[in-house]
Structure 1
């Protein structure tokens, strides 16, 4: 499951969250995990990363 910049992988061993922090990894996840091949992922990534940073700041303790 991909929610913003966080990829959650669920297996029989449990859940693992990965924060995707760069456009290359984001594009790789979209391609490899979801078979999405976007011609220009940069504008989407910029929005996703900006929202993630706001979310992280609001949810830090």
Structure 2
């Protein structure tokens, strides 16, 4: 049996990748996640509003 505690994260945290975009809720403006997506269909975990955007609408929503 191994009693040694593993303090290393399973997935190391990402360093600031300039290719990743920051996505914010178009309703409340709070941070959702970083990444690159073409379509977003989710409920904001802050304001509980539905976010359903794709293509150009997604680009406009992230730049509001």
Give TM-score, length-normalised by structure 1: 0.28
Bigger RCO (CA 8 Å, 6+ sep): 1
TM-score (norm 2): 0.27
- Of Structure 1 and Structure 2, the greater helix share is in 1
Structure 1 or 2: more strand by fraction: 2
Larger-Rg structure? 2
